[in-house]
A and B are shown apart, each in its own frame.
Chain A
C-alpha cells in the first residue's frame, strides 16, 4: 500500500492574525507555524493503514523553505519520505494552481491512496484535495471519520450534515480527514532523530513539468481586493441583578422586548 499524504504548514489556530500594510496579505513575522491540524490526522491515519497493510507513506508539501519543518514533523511521526515543492514561482498560487502542481508531483509517485485534511485552517478554501482528485481522475471521499480496507477497496465513514454515510471506492482514491478519525501521535525524540536521516526530495515546479507562467500570485483566479477585521460588536452589556433568577429575568426581557429575537 503506497500512501501519499498532502500536508500544509499554517498559522497555529491560537495565533493572532494581523493584516499587513499592503491590506491584502497578513503579517507573518510573529506567527507560530504548525502542520494544519487536519493534516496531522491524515498523517496518523496513513501510518496506521501502512502499519496494518505494509507499504510506505510519502508526505508531499508545497511551500517556502520553512515548510520543510512540517514535512520533518510528519517524518518524525513515522512517515517514510518527503517531497517538498519549494519554488518562488509557485508562491501565492490559488487553490486550483496549487492542486495542479500537487497533482503533477503525484504523477511521479506510486500511490494507492492519497490522504489530506478536508481544509487548511489558513484560507479555509476546502478546495485543494478535491481538485487534486479531479486532476488525477480518481474518486474523492471527504470528511472521513473511520476507514476500513479490504480487497483493494476502501470503505470510509464520512460525516454529512445530520449523520454519516459509508462510501466505498476502488483504489486509487483520495479521502480527506475530519476530527474524530484518530488522535494524532506526537513525534517521539527517537522519531525526531530518525527523521533527520529520512529522504526528502526538493522539487521546483519546472521539474514537475509545470509552466511557471501559469501559476503563482499573478495567475490567481481568486484575487484578494481587501482584508478586513471582522466587524466589531458594541461593548458588552452586563446584566445586573442579585440572584440568578433576577439576572435570568432581565436577560430574557432584553432578548424578548429589545432585541426581539425570542
Chain B
C-alpha cells in the first residue's frame, strides 16, 4: 500500500533551488500529520555531496540519482528515472516545486503514473489523512481548495510561499542504480544569466515598473539594487519592448510571491494583479490617486515615481548602510 511523502528536489549546477528546501520542509509537515516518512530525491550529475544540505529540513531518507545523463534537465531522462524511483518507493504523496522545470516534469510524470496532480499550490492542509490543497486559478482571481483521488497524489507547490523549517532527523543517504532510458531530446546549447541577478520568482523583494516609467527603468533598478531585490515589469512595458518577456509579472507572465512587492507607475490592470496578489506586503507608488493598484496595496504613495522612487532609494540606503 502506497505510503510516505516523496519530495523531488531541484538543483542546477550544484546548487539547490530555494523551493527545494521549502518542499522538503512542507513534506516533513505533511508526513508528520500523516504519521509517515519523507524520502527526498536529488537528481543530477556529481550531486552526491549536495544531499547533506537537505538533512536539516528533516527527510528520513535521501536518494541520490546521479548520472552523467542527468547533468542537464531533460523531460525524458528525468521523468524516466523518477518513474522508476516512484515505483520502488511507492509513495502516497509526491511533492515538488512549481518552477518551470517542476511544472514540466510533474505534468509528464502525472501522465506516466496516471496520478492526480494539484499544480502551483499555495497551501496544503491535512485532515483525517486526506490532503486539501489550495491553488490559484484564473491567474489568482479565484483560489480553489482541491482534493486528489487515488493512491498517489502529486502536489506541486508555488515557490516562495511555504515556510522553510529546520527539523533534522536520522537520515539515510542511498545512491540507487539509475536507468535513464530512452531520451528523445538533446540540449544543444545553454544560455544562463550570469552574475548576481535574482530570479524573479524566488526574490524576497520585487520592484516593478509600469507604463508610468515611460521605459526608463534606471530608478526602478536602483531601488531594487538598494533593497537586494529583483526587477519586474507590467505587460504594457513588455509589449512596448522596454523590458524582456522574462521580467513580466502577471497572468500571462510570471507569478511572484515576494515578502515585499513595490509597484511603481503600475495602474493595476486585473491581469497584472493576478501575478502579484499573493505577495505578503504590497507598496504602490502612482501619481493617479484613483489607480486600481491602490485597492490591492497595503501601503500607497501618491506621487511621481521619478521623484518618489529615488527618494525611497536614498532612505533605504540610510538604513541598509
Contact = CB atoms under 8 A, between A and B. Distances in A.
Interface string A1-35: 00000000001011011010000001000000000
Greatest chain A CB density within 10 A among B115, B148, B304 is at B148
B143 A252 contact: no
Contact of B144 (A95, A180, A227): A227
A227 B143 contact: yes
Interface in A223-261: 223-230, 233-234, 236-239, 244-245, 247-249, 251-256, 259, 261
Contacts of A80: none
B308 A168 contact: no
Contacts of A143: 100, 104
Interface stretch (B43-51, B70-78, B161-169): B70-78
A223 B294 contact: no
A127 B119 contact: yes
Contacts of A140: 75, 104, 108
A115 to B, nearest CB: 16
Contacts of A95: 107, 110, 117
A142 B105 CA distance: 10
Interface in B88-142: 99-101, 103-104, 107-108, 110-112, 114-120, 132, 135-142
A233 B299 CA distance: 11
A230 B308 CA distance: 30
Contacts of B120: 124, 126
B231 to A, nearest CB: 14
Contact of B138 (A122, A226, A248): A122
Chief secondary structure at chain A's binding surface: mixed
Interface string B291-303: 0001111111111
B270 A16 contact: yes
Interface in A126-146: 126-127, 129-131, 133-135, 138-143, 145
Chief secondary structure at chain B's binding surface: mixed
B136 to A, nearest CB: 7
Interface stretch (B22-30, B60-68, B172-180, B280-288): B280-288
A168 B312 CA distance: 47
Contacts of B201: 161
Interface residues on B, range: 35 or more
A129 B110 CA distance: 12
Contacts of A121: 138-139, 251-252
A16 B308 CA distance: 32
A239 B301 CA distance: 5
B139 A13 contact: yes
Nearest to B159: A161
A155 B242 CA distance: 27
Interface in B145-174: 145-150
Nearest to A234: B298
Interface of B: 17, 72-76, 99-101, 103-104, 107-108, 110-112, 114-120, 132, 135-150, 184-193, 197, 199, 201-202, 205, 227, 238, 244-246, 248, 251-253, 259-260, 269-271, 274, 277-278, 280-284, 294-304, 307-308, 311-312, 314-316, 318-320
Q: List the 7 closest pairs (A to B, CB-CB), nearest first.
A: A221-B116, A248-B311, A130-B107, A131-B111, A244-B307, A134-B111, A163-B192
24 contacts: A96-B114, A124-B120, A124-B135, A125-B117, A130-B111, A131-B107, A133-B108, A134-B111, A139-B75, A139-B184, A141-B185, A159-B100, A221-B150, A222-B146, A222-B148, A230-B278, A236-B298, A238-B300, A239-B299, A239-B301, A247-B301, A249-B311, A259-B298, A261-B280
